[in-house]
């Protein structure tokens, strides 16, 4: 019997039982793995990955009997056996990851009557697509991190099942980092799920033409993360203004209201960098322009804000109202998301709307031309890209169809393409250091200036705890720019002392997030101001830092000025994010991988290399246990004491303070206390 293997350039190919399998180098210490049971491999789409780096070389060998082969690229080696099983090793020969196979192979260690294949392609009748399942062996000692943003209390994802799909407050970014020394990207835009089970790890995609994943090996989390950033791109350099304080509420109803808030910040001598105009400032969804009744002079508004040193961010939705002035042309040109059955309305909140199809190049260019004319050319250089999942009234993924494929095949790429729409337009206009706030992301979104926030979350300590873990897993998933609505979005009552405590603790945490942004739909609501255009929707209660009483205001002010004082430090960690992909906020194990305890801590994090943050996450809590990683000395900013690393301590946390520790006492360079 001849060999199933052959070598083409730097690519190892196996063809057996109608499956084509490719393994090839894709960046240092990394491999891209593709497989299909179609007649040939699709090579046009790299999805999350940047084009293959030049100069990649690999050592490839096929055994003398033709029953096995291996490919080595730097620190990673893949071995393939006769039954198709692929196993990955690091440079020391230590096992990293192995496919799950139970087959009747004459290699003794694989003998099993179960006949379970590692890669299962189940044909979908009447199509060229498959339902794809890829299985890997589980390891009891493994810890897994990343995968994006899920509303749950877990940092270590071992034992979890995750939907590979986007929803409001859920962003599927399918890259994981293992404590065994590898990173893994499921390079597939299809809706599916992954189970990190005790007995098996199983990736599933509901409608694909081929398997596609990328794997890298590294000696530290930082090395793995940097390899992933090289493969998928890094964020731009964050503009200086974005490192300060952002003021937002639901919603400023008029131009004069917004300007008066900005003026009050200046009268009080408070630092503010960005102020936000939220939704329904427009005449109609998809008209993409200010309602002149409530926003009569956008250019003058932008000019006055810039004179105060404040950037204006404006909310944009991808919802296209069927009665808007732009609907007819966009519909006729095929620029809207289609559907296979039922009514042609995909969202019916505040109007009957469809979504613009961000996967269509013509639709992206068309939308940007409108935005440029009505906003960008008026001086607005930062946008809030809401509804980016997109948020369907019903998440019927089998019903929607995009320019590049069905929703089951490609919908996870929508937020990346939505961000790209604005990034490409702004870049073509000559702008550098582009940043836009967006409610969802996929792998690679970071290279298009995506600042992700965690969606319409509840105002509660439970939600705060979930956001802490979500933000850290987003960081590991390669999305370094991330933020929350400080105080949560839903149900915060500005008259409630219990909410005052929550928003104080959230504000303290927010000061040490990549972006420091106050937002929320506060109670009690204010009524609409009119019956059409920008007047048809009301607003929430005031949400400025002086809206919660004098005690809260003094605490807010303290942390606003702390944030200002450490902006040179923030600039350096943002430069590292831009240059290397280093996440500004990250779990303790990122900086202390050789401390076993650091891998188990899920309620503390590092903000850059020198600030350890231990947020207060429970109502009424006035002290907490803090773990100080070994390998450093730690200065408490509350009492000024120095502590040796490698120990737990009890730290006081009065309402005025969040526990912070400076690595090796870097107090002179970090004026926090």
Catalytic site includes residue 19? no
Strands 611-613 and 660-663: antiparallel
Residues in a beta bridge with 102:
116
Residues 382, 384, 389, 394, Cα dihedral to 10°: -150
120, 456, 501, 633: the active-site residue: 456
Q: What DSSP letter does each residue of 650-670 carry, written as one string?
A: EEE--TT---EEEETTTTTTS
Q: 208: part of which helix (H) or strand (E)? A: strand 200-208
- Tally: H helices and E strands in the chain: 12, 39
Q: What are phi and psi of 116, to 5 degrees?
A: -105, 125
Other beta carbons within 10 Å of 323: 13
Q: What distance separates the 2 farthest-apart alpha carbons in the chain? A: 84
Residues 220, 225, 231, 237, Cα dihedral to 10°: -130
Cβ atoms of 318 and 388 within 8 Å: the answer is: yes
- Rama region for 159: left / alpha / beta (φ>0; ψ in -120 to 50; rest): left
Q: What DSSP letter does each residue of 411-444 carry, written as one string?
A: GGGHHHHHHHHHHHHHHHTT--S--EEES---TT
Strands 311-316 and 382-385: parallel
Nearest-angstrom CA–CA distance, 66 and 4: 7
129, 223, 389, 485: the active-site residue: 389
Does residue 294 have a cis peptide bond before it, meaning omega lies within 30 degrees of 0? no
**Cβ-Cβ contacts under 8 Å for 486 (sequence gap 6 or more):** 503, 506, 507, 510, 516, 517, 518, 519, 520
**In this structure, is the dihedral angle defined by the CA atoms of residues 538, 541, 545 and 547, taken in order, positive or negative?**
positive
Catalytic site includes residue 291? no
Grouping H, G, I as helix, E, B as strand and the rest as coil, residue 389 is: coil
Q: 635: part of which helix (H) or strand (E)? A: strand 633-636
Nearest-angstrom CA–CA distance, 22 and 28: 18
Cβ atoms of 29 and 73 within 8 Å: the answer is: yes
Nearest-angstrom CA–CA distance, 317 and 336: 13
DSSP secondary structure code for residue 575 in this structure: H
Nearest-angstrom CA–CA distance, 50 and 26: 9
Cβ atoms of 488 and 506 within 8 Å: the answer is: yes
Cβ atoms of 486 and 477 within 8 Å: the answer is: no
Percent composition of the chain: helix, strand, coil (DSSP 3-state, to 5): 25, 30, 45
56, 223, 386, 391: the active-site residue: 386
Other beta carbons within 10 Å of 592: 25
Written as six digits, the tokens of 636 are: 């408490």
Q: 505: part of which helix (H) or strand (E)? A: helix 497-510
Residues in a beta bridge with 89:
77, 95
Catalytic site includes residue 293? no
Query: Annotated catalytic sites, by residue?
Result: 386, 389, 456
């Amino acid at each position: 019997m001849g060999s199933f293997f052959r070598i083409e350039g730097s690519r190892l190919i196996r063809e057996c039982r109608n499956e084509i399998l490719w393994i090839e180098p894709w960046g240092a210490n990394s491999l891209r793995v593709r497989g299909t049971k179609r007649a040939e491999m699709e090579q046009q789409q790299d999805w999350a990955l940047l084009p293959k780096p030049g100069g990649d070389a690999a050592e490839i060998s096929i055994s003398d009997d033709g029953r096995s082969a291996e490919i080595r690229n730097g620190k990673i080696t893949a071995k393939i056996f006769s039954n198709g099983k692929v196993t990955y090793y690091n440079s020391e020969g230590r096992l990293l990851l192995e496919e799950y196979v139970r087959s009747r192979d004459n290699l003794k260690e694989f003998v099993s009557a179960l006949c379970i294949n590692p890669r299962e392609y189940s044909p979908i009748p009447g199509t060229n697509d498959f339902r794809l399942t890829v299985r890997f062996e589980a390891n009891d000692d493994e810890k897994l991190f990343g995968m994006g943003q899920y509303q749950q209390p877990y940092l270590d994802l071992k034992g979890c099942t995750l939907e590979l799909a986007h929803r409001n407050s859920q962003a599927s970014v399918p890259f994981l980092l293992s404590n065994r020394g590898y990173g893994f990207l499921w390079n597939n835009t299809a809706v599916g799920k992954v189970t990190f089970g005790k007995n098996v790890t199983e990736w599933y995609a509901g409608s694909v033409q081929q398997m596609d994943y990328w794997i890298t090996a590294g000696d530290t989390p930082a090395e793995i993360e940097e390899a992933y950033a090289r493969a998928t791109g890094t964020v731009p350099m964050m503009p200086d203004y974005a490192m300060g304080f952002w003021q937002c509420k639901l919603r400023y109803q008029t131009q004069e209201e917004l300007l008066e808030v900005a003026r009050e910040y200046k009268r009080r001598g408070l630092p503010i960098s960005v102020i936000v105009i939220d939704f329904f400032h427009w005449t109609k969804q998809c008209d993409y322009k200010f309602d002149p009744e409530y926003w009569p002079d956008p250019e003058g508004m932008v000019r006055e804000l810039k004179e105060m040193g404040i950037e204006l961010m404006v909310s944009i939705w991808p919802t296209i109202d069927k009665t808007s002035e732009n609907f007819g042309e966009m519909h006729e040109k095929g620029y809207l998301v289609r559907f296979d059955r039922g009514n042609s309305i995909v969202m019916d909140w505040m109007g009957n709307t469809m979504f613009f199809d961000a996967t269509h190049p013509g639709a992206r260019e068309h939308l940007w031309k409108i935005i440029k004319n009505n906003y960008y050319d008026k001086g607005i250089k930062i946008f809030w890209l809401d509804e980016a999942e997109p948020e369907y009234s019903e998440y019927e993924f089998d019903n929607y169809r995009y320019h590049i494929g069905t929703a089951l095949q490609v919908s996870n790429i929508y937020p990346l393409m939505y961000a790209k729409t604005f990034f490409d337009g702004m870049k073509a206009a000559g702008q550098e250091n582009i940043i836009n706030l967006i409610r969802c992301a996929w792998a690679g979104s970071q290279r298009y200036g995506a600042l992700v926030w965690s969606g319409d979350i509840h105002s509660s300590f439970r939600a705060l705890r979930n956001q802490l873990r979500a933000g850290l897993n987003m960081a590991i998933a390669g999305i370094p720019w991330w933020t929350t609505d400080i105080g949560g979005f839903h149900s915060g009552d500005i008259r409630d002392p219990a909410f005052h405590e929550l928003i104080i603790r959230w504000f303290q945490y927010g000061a040490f997030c990549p972006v420091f942004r106050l937002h929320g739909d506060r109670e009690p609501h204010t009524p609409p101001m009119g019956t059409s255009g920008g007047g048809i929707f009301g607003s929430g209660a005031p949400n400025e830092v002086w809206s919660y009483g004098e005690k809260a205001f003094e605490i807010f002010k303290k942390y606003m000025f702390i944030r200002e004082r450490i902006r040179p430090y923030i600039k350096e960690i943002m430069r590292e994010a831009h240059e290397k992909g280093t996440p500004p906020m990250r779990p303790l194990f990122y900086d202390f991988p050789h401390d076993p305890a650091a891998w188990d801590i899920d309620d503390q994090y590092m903000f850059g290399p020198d600030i350890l943050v231990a947020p207060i996450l429970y109502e009424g809590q006035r002290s907490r246990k803090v773990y100080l990683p070994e390998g450093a000395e730690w200065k408490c900013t509350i009492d000024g004491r120095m502590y040796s690393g490698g120990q737990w301590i009890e730290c006081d946390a009065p309402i005025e303070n969040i526990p912070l520790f400076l690595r090796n006492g870097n107090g002179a360079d970090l004026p926090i206390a």
